Amino acid sequence: MSQTITHAFDAAGFDALLASQSEPDWLTTLRREAFEHAQAMSWPERRHEEWIRTDIRIFQLGKFGLPVLDPADCDLAETEPLHQLVEGVALGGRIETVDGCITKESLDEDLAAKGVVFGSLSKLALSHPELVRPYLFTAFDPDHDKFAALHAAFMSGGQFLYVPRGVVIDRPLHIGSILTDGGTDTTHTLVVLEDGAEATLLHESNSTDSGGAGLHLGSIELVQKPGSNLRYVNLQEWGHKTYHFAQQKAVIDRDCSLQWTIAAMGSSLSKVNQSVDLVGPGAHSQVNGVMFTEGRQHLAYHTLQHHKAESCRSDFLYKAAQQDKSRTVWRGMIKVDPAAQKTDGYQRNDNLVLSHHARADSIPGLEIEADDVRCTHGSTTSKVDEDQIFYARCRGFTRKEATRMIVTGFFQQIFDRITIDSVREALGAAIARQVREYE
Amino acid sequence: MTHVLKIEDLHVSVGDKPILRGVNLTLNHGETHALMGPNGSGKSTLGLAIMGHPGYEVTSGSITLDGKDVLEMAPDERARAGIFMAFQRPMAIPGVKMADFLRHATTNVRRPDRKEGEELIPMREFRKELREKMEHLRMDSEFARRYVNDGFSGGEMKRAEILQLAMLQPKFAVLDETDSGLDADAVRLASESIADIGHQKMGLLIITHHDKLLEHNPPDFTHVMLGGRLVETGGKELAEELHQHGYDRIRKAYPDAEALNQKLLAEDAEEALA
Number of independent structural domains in chain A: 1
CB nearest to B116's CB, from A390, A401, A408: A401
What residues of chain A, 412 to 431, have a C-beta less than 8 Å from chain B? 412-413
| Residue B180 within any structural domain of the chain | yes
CB nearest to B79's CB, from A394, A399, A408: A394
CB nearest to B91's CB, from A388, A398, A408: A388
AA identity, residue B249: R
| Residue B201 within any structural domain of the chain | yes
Beta strand pairing status for B172-176 and B203-207? parallel
| Residue A20 within any structural domain of the chain | yes
A400 contacts B79? CB cut-off 8 A: no
Q: Of all residues in chain B, what percent are helix, strand and coil, respectively (each to 5)?
A: 45, 25, 30
**Separation of alpha carbons A145 and A181, rounded Å:** 26
Nearest residue of A to residue B82 by CA position?
A396
**Separation of alpha carbons A98 and A177, rounded Å:** 6
Nearest residue of B to residue A400 by CA position?
B116
- Alpha-carbon gap: B211 to the closest alpha carbon of chain A (Å): 27
| Residue B56 within any structural domain of the chain | yes
pLDDT of residue A81: 64
> pLDDT confidence of A1, banded at 50, 70, 90?
very low
Backbone phi and psi for residue A197, each to the nearest 5 degrees, phi listed first: -75, 160
Q: Decide if pLDDT at A206 tops 50.
A: yes
For chain B, say whether A437 makes contact (Cβ under 8 Å).
Answer: no
SS3 of residue B35 by DSSP: strand
Nearest to A105 by CA among A92, A94, A90, A115: A94
AA identity, residue A170: D
| Residue B125 within any structural domain of the chain | no
**Separation of alpha carbons B271 and B274, rounded Å:** 5
Q: What is the pLDDT of residues A313-359, one digit of tens each?
A: 999 999 999 999 999 999 999 999 999 999 999 999 999 999 899 99
| Residue A284 within any structural domain of the chain | yes
Q: What is the pLDDT of residues B201-252, one digit of tens each?
A: 999 999 988 788 899 999 999 999 999 999 999 999 999 999 999 999 999 9
Burial (CB count <10 Å: 0-12, 13-18, 19+), residue A2: exposed
The ipTM of this complex is 0.96
Q: What is the pLDDT of residues A72-98, one digit of tens each?
A: 777 665 556 677 888 889 999 999 999
- Alpha-carbon gap: B32 to the closest alpha carbon of chain A (Å): 21
| Residue A131 within any structural domain of the chain | yes
Distance of CA B131 to the CA centre of its chain: 24
| Residue A399 within any structural domain of the chain | no
A394 contacts B76? CB cut-off 8 A: yes
| Residue B34 within any structural domain of the chain | yes
Residue from A319, A394, A418 to probe the interface with B (highest B Cβ count within 10 Å): A394
Number of residue pairs across A and B with CB atoms under 8 Å?
81
Number of independent structural domains in chain B: 1
| Residue A110 within any structural domain of the chain | yes
Q: In terms of residue numbers, what domain contains A309?
A: 11-384
**Contact residues on chain B for A386, CB-CB shorter than 8 A:** 54
| Residue B99 within any structural domain of the chain | no
**Contact residues on chain A for B96, CB-CB shorter than 8 A:** 405-406, 408-409, 412
Nearest residue of B to residue A413 by CA position?
B95
A393 contacts B75? CB cut-off 8 A: yes
Ranges assigned E (strand) in A127-197: 159-163, 173-179, 183-185, 188-193
B79 contacts A396? CB cut-off 8 A: yes
| Residue B131 within any structural domain of the chain | no
**Separation of alpha carbons A42 and A246, rounded Å:** 17
Find the radius of gyration of the CA atoms of chain A. 21
Q: What is the pLDDT of residues A286-314, one digit of tens each?
A: 999 999 999 999 999 999 999 999 999 99
- The b-or-e profile of A241-266 (16+ CB within 10 A means b, else e) is bbbbbbbbbbbbbbbbbbbbbbbbbb
| Residue A394 within any structural domain of the chain | no
| Residue A433 within any structural domain of the chain | no
Q: In terms of residue numbers, what domain contains B181?
A: 4-90+171-273
| Residue A169 within any structural domain of the chain | yes
- Tally Cβ neighbours within 10 Å of residue B214: 21
Measured CA angle at A215 (ends A214, A221), to 5 deg: 140
| Residue B139 within any structural domain of the chain | no
For chain B, say whether A410 makes contact (Cβ under 8 Å).
Answer: yes
What residues of chain A, 368 to 397, have a C-beta less than 8 Å from chain B? 385-388, 390-397
Burial (CB count <10 Å: 0-12, 13-18, 19+), residue A152: buried
Element (H, E) at A284: strand A284-293
